[in-house]
Structure 1
Amino acid sequence: MTRPTLIGLDADDTLWHNETLFRLTHQRFNELLAAYADAPQVEEHLAAVERRNLKVYGYGAKGFTLSMLETAVELSGGNAPAGVLGEILAAGRELMTHPIDPLPGVRDALEQLAQRAPLLLITKGDLFHQESKLAASGLGDLFAGVEIVSEKTADTYRRAFRRHGTPPEEALMAGNSVRSDILPALEAGAHAALIPYPLVWAHEAAEAPHAHPRFRQFDTLAQLVPWLDSLV
């Protein structure tokens, strides 16, 4: 393998915490609906509503908040009090405004990676929220380009890499989601590096393709640096 000429990077749970915040919001939501269903039932219903709504609302905190409200209305038979709905809206607002702190070592790793190849942020979700998180992270200056997309597919990666002057075969995509960051990038013809995060949203779960010749897995983003240096 030759050294990539463009490095794509995921944002949520690769550069900063995201799923941890959603898990805390799930706990709060379960408590708010305890009068109508137990936690496993709430989680099951919410997951079904989220899947149903992905094509309508897309990914991110706004769509998640709307799905929580819809779940509350359905599980309560339309009887959820205004106070509960207000608490759900407040929880969604907190997700949207929570401080963004880069994961340990991420800035140093990005600075070193940027010396090896241009960095391209490829993240999915709500445009305004993702732009706000990137600005709040203080990492924006390290990226040569930013792509905020509704879904990550092989075509998404092909178009994104080519827009930035790189054939997919010369690009690397690194992120925490096998389903979104790894499998479609490999399908596009790129190389892919998995940087696992301790928590994985069920919708993003998939088996890592360890036998694939263009796949690598690392414990931290910083470990990409010596691996890239080992390439010709």
Structure 2
Amino acid sequence: MRIDIITCVPQLLASPFDHSIVKRAKDKGLASINVIDLRDYTTYAHGQLDDYAYGGGAGMVLMPEPIANCIMSLQSERKYDAIMYMTPDGEQFSQSIANRYSMVENIMILCGHYKGVDERIRQKFITHEISIGDYVLSGGELAAAVVADALVRLIPNVLSDETSALTDSFQDGLLAPPVYTRPEVYEGMSVPQVLLSGNHKAIEQWRNDQAIERTKTRRPDLYQKLLGS
């Protein structure tokens, strides 16, 4: 998988992809994440990327030409399966969306900044608009890092244990059950006996019951969706 992230603040993405699972994927040659500096594609003086919005109002807007120059330059080099734009009014990112896009080869992600991008860029180039939650960040960079991390960890052979991603929260519409490790007793709190029993069928049933109960208690919206499916 190749992920190209277009940003006007590339420094914000200097660290997230150089550690842990994403770094492992890059080292194995299973994923390539490239941070593209939008200022390299502007023809305006002093690297200008933004301007005032027509009609007035607070905040600046990223101008269309530098973004178009960047996207078209990247498109001349390869075909993209998706061109995403990180925006609060996009589709809510979810595990099912991550599963879907983890199967593709080339993804471009445009990070908004300030008051966003000129609407004509969204109309002309963007194929998928994604939000990571009902809140506003300073820009789309951290959101893009979230999406990239969620996709890369699903690529086959990235995780040491292939079943790990399949048992994550949300994969089956449920939150993950509680987990325990050594010591068996910590400050008077013991590991549930069923997990020490060696009875794999009973353990699996306990985990399923716990996942359902945790989802019902903590995310009743997910639980109701599960009941309706």
Say whether the fold is shared (TM-score over 0.5): no
Task: With a CA cutoff of 8 Å and minimum separation of 6, indicate the structure with the bigger relative contact order.
Answer: 1
What TM-score comes out, normalization by structure 2 length? 0.30
Structure of greater Rg: 2
